[in-house]
Each structure stands twice: as structure tokens, then as C-alpha cells.
């Protein structure tokens, strides 16, 4: 007897990602895989972040590098400014003094998430462009997660907040309403 497994294909999650100077090709591949899993809009690769085709990326992406819309961007500042002009909330995932707890943050969709280098973090110039900084609460002795792991945590939290607007309303957050011409927007 065979089991039939169906997978629900969601509408695109109104989220873009920018990976800036992510050095590990395996981390880049993991981002592709997670980006596919939650159906983000676009993955932007900047700085010395590797890009497909690449065997290390393919090894962890398992084909997601062919299913996720991605672009190589030579100028992440210009990309962030363009996305801001399109109404995206620019969000750096980084531990800073002004960072808000990921689980308390109420995003204003669409959102652009910025992830920086595994060791050095996000450059000050890019941090300054982001109106919001979020951090994942860390309860152990270590103060950070692997960048691709952090990406998975943040993307699934955004998916939860986007997909279940009733919970957001119960928390006093704005409801997401369909615009009729694209992804739902906060109101």
C-alpha cells in the first residue's frame, strides 16, 4: 500500500532576503532550502556571498537553487533603498542595542530581511539603512546561532505571523488584508 503525501503550496510569503558577505557556501545552500520551504519572493546575494551554480550550495540546497527566485546584487545599499521604495520594512537580523525580540516584533509586510557575515555580522552602513533590528532570544551561554539556522528561525516566525493573522489580532497587532493586486498588507 502506498501513502499519498500532498504538500500545500502557499501564496508567496511577502519576504525578500539579502545575504551580505555570507562566507560559507553551505550556509548559502541552507538559505536556499529554507527560502523554498516558506516560499519567499526573492533571495539577493551580495558581497562575497557565493551563488549558484556551485557544488557546495547545491549539496545543501538540494535543488532549491533552481526553485527560488534569486539575484546577484553588486550594491546591497541600492537594493535596500529600492525595496524601501516598494514599501518593504527593512529588517536587520542582528544583535544590536536597539534590537527587538523576534517573538515580540510585529512585522509590517512586505519585509526584507538582511543577514550578514557569520563572524563580523552586518556592516554598520547596512545596519543604518534598516529601520528595524531583530534578534533571536538566546537563553544559553552562547550569544548567537549559525546564520542559516537563525534564518530558519526568523523565516518560520514570519510565516507564522503572516499565515495566522487572527493570532496577530489577538495580540493587538494589525490585521493583514488582501489588496486584490498582490500580497496582503498590514493595516
Closest to 32 (Cα-Cα) out of 48, 43, 18: 43
Residue 103 belongs to a domain with what CATH number? 3.40.1280.10
- The reply to whether 20 falls in a domain is yes
pLDDT in tens, 85-100: 999 999 999 999 999 9
Task: Identify the residue whose cell numbers are 549539496.
Answer: 59
Domain count, the chain: 1
The 8-class DSSP code of residue 120 comes to: T
pLDDT surpassing 50 at residue 81:
yes
Distance CA 80, CA 153 (A): 22
- The reply to whether 165 falls in a domain is yes
- The reply to whether 18 falls in a domain is yes
- The reply to whether 2 falls in a domain is no
0.75 exceeded by pTM: yes
Contact 116, 94 (CB under 8 A): yes
- The reply to whether 7 falls in a domain is no
pLDDT in tens, 119-140: 999 999 999 999 999 999 999 9
Structural domain including 170 reads 13-186
Amino acid at each position: 500500500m502506498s501513502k499519498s503525501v500532498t504538500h500545500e503550496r502557499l501564496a508567496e510569503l511577502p519576504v525578500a532576503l539579502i545575504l551580505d558577505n555570507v562566507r560559507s557556501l553551505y550556509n548559502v545552500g541552507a538559505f536556499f532550502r529554507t527560502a523554498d520551504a516558506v516560499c519567499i519572493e526573492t533571495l539577493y546575494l551580495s558581497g562575497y556571498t557565493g551563488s549558484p551554480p556551485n557544488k557546495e550550495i547545491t549539496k545543501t540546497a538540494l535543488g532549491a537553487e533552481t526553485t527560488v527566485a534569486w539575484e546577484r546584487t553588486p550594491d546591497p545599499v541600492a537594493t535596500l533603498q529600492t525595496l524601501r521604495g516598494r514599501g518593504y520594512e527593512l529588517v536587520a537580523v542582528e544583535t544590536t542595542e536597539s534590537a527587538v525580540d523576534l517573538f515580540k516584533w510585529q512585522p509590517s509586510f512586505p519585509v526584507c530581511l538582511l543577514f550578514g557575515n557569520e563572524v563580523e555580522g552586518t556592516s554598520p552602513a547596512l545596519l543604518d539603512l534598516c529601520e528595524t533590528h531583530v534578534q533571536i532570544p538566546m537563553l544559553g551561554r552562547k550569544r548567537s546561532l549559525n546564520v542559516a539556522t537563525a534564518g530558519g528561525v526568523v523565516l518560520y516566525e514570519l510565516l507564522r505571523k503572516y499565515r495566522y493573522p487572527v493570532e496577530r489580532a489577538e495580540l493587538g497587532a494589525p490585521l493583514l488584508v488582501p489588496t486584490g493586486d498582490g500580497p496582503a498588507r498590514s493595516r
